[in-house]
Structure 1
Amino acid sequence: MRPTLSFHLQTIPNVPAIRQLYELDGEIGEADVADFVLQRCRAQSGTDFIPFHLHRVVAIAGVLQQDGHTRLVQRLAVDAGDEAAMLADWLALLRDSRAQLISWDGSRLDLPVLLHRALALGLQLPEQLRAGRTPDAHCALSEILSGGHAELATPLGELARLCGLPGEAELNGPRRWELYRAGNADALAEHNVRQAASCHLLWLRQQWVEGALTPATHQACRQSLRAVIAAQPEPHWRGWLAEWREEAAQGD
């Protein structure tokens, strides 16, 4: 199998960038700066979706499948100063592994944000993210399943649960900001890596039903991820594993 990296990221409003671009006084608190840009977005588009250049990445995670081995990769940047080092480390992993990127809905947020942040921070892109990259460098699973109709895309957590896999609701922008401001950045990172793992399982299942993976390979890949997660010391994985019904449903 070609190496794959199923990934997910979490972002918050980029307060320093918002201050700079909108010339906001330094005495205005972070919460008010973020509320300013959220209110501006709601007035302009009717949603909480912040433009790509006004995001800051606080957590990035993935499941790397390479040479028959499975590895969880997760990074957290609590402070703004940590973001560049976190992303540089992750981009180096992508460059060294030469993995195909797998995401749920990465074309709408994850990849554009990564490209904007890499440009702003001066980070060199791996081949999979460069202009002119091959069409198979990145697979956005929801786009394939929805036939390219992004507005009709199914939420990751809902489809995962229908397949007997662990799945949870995505955190919207205000909720991510709320958790970060409350000092719960670890909760963001934990949610993020679980989303990456659920995306990986759905991708494996999609490859199996399309015939790209044999039943034996599909089972081996799932069991490899299960073993890796079962070995994790963090308690948040216990409930995630308990929701994994697919194994029993298929008689493994």
Structure 2
Amino acid sequence: MNVLVFDIETVPDVAGGRRLFGLEGLDDAAAAEAMFALRRQETGNDFLRHHLQRIVAISAVFRSRDQIAVWSLGDEQSGEKTILEKFFQIIERYSPTLVSWNGSGFDLPVLHYRALLHGVASPRYWDQGQDDKNFKWNNYLSRYHDRHTDLMDLLALYNNRAFVPLDQMASLLGFPGKMGMSGAKVWDAFHGGDIKGIRDYCETDVLNTWLVYLRFQLIRGVIMEEGYQAELDMVKEYLVRETRPHFQEFLQHWQGTTGNKG
């Protein structure tokens, strides 16, 4: 089975903000601050609505047969449409099981709105049995189907009062959790031109999600203890082979944790 763990990073869609809120004449920083201010007036916080989140990175863990890969789609110069196209091309080609942390609440709705904006098609993703009858009973869109497994939603038994942050859950299980950057810092990093830092951060998030997913597969009996340890070893071996600094830092944090099977 092919499994695609994914995570997105976003910044304010300042072009959309200018169009919707009459912010013409403001530079990006000022337009974003105006959007935050309007949102604070509306809700008391500055977290923008899903359709005004511009995607600047999608990172993935792809597990297929006896291989694993971790990367960010496109390159540092890729525009939002290109990144979206690459994401949906993976679904069209492989029909993987999608795994996320809060994907139903944030990542997928953002992907939907931004795909709509850019006209990015993905018949396989949107299929609910019209093209493939099997998708009537297990598709990407239903909250209770496992073709997309939102770990945060499922583990909380679909109760938002029981939601927990990925960082805390991963750390509790003995995995690295967040290292340095957080979602709240992405706009500043983007505005400062640090696309690489954003992509690196997003890749560590999908690694944490994959490791938590493996533990979930263990407790529901999909894999046994021996298979679980083999999967962890595969990740560690991959990180050793990949000499990128953020992977080495992730591995060092992981090896430095104690008191847990992770």
Provide TM-score, normalisation by structure 2.
0.87
Structure 1: 4+ residue segments shifted above 3 A: 76-79, 128-133, 245-252
Counterpart check, 1:46 vs 2:57? no
Question: Which structure 2 residues correspond to residues 1-252 of structure 1 after superposition, within 5 A?
Answer: 2-25=1-24, 27-75=25-73, 82-130=79-127, 134=139, 135-168=145-178, 171-173=182-184, 175-245=185-255
**In 1: Cα distance, 2:75 partner to 2:109 partner:** 19
1:248 Cα deviation (Å)? 7.2
1:3 Cα deviation (Å)? 1.3
1:73 Cα deviation (Å)? 2.7
Structure 2: runs of 5 or more not aligned: 130-134, 140-144
Indicate the percent of aligned positions where both proteins have the same amino acid.
25
Q: Is the 8 A contact 2:59 2:203 kept in 1?
A: yes
1:40 Cα deviation (Å)? 1.1
Structure 1 residues 130 and 42: alpha-carbon distance in aligned structure 2, compared to 1, 3 A threshold: farther
The aligned length equals 248
Structure 1 residues 137 and 76: alpha-carbon distance in aligned structure 2, compared to 1, 3 A threshold: same
User: After the TM superposition, which of the residue ranges 197-206 and 175-184 deviates more from structure 2?
Assistant: 175-184
Q: What do the CA deviations read for 1:37-58 (whole angstroms, capped 9, x no partner)?
A: 1111111111222111111100
Structure 1 residues 251 and 191: alpha-carbon distance in aligned structure 2, compared to 1, 3 A threshold: closer
Q: Is the 8 A contact 2:74 2:86 kept in 1?
A: no
Structure 1 residues 102 and 251: alpha-carbon distance in aligned structure 2, compared to 1, 3 A threshold: closer
Q: CA RMSD in A?
A: 2.3
Structure 1 residues 247 and 212: alpha-carbon distance in aligned structure 2, compared to 1, 3 A threshold: farther
Q: Between the two structures, name the one with larger relative contact order (CA 8 Å, sep ≥ 6).
A: 1
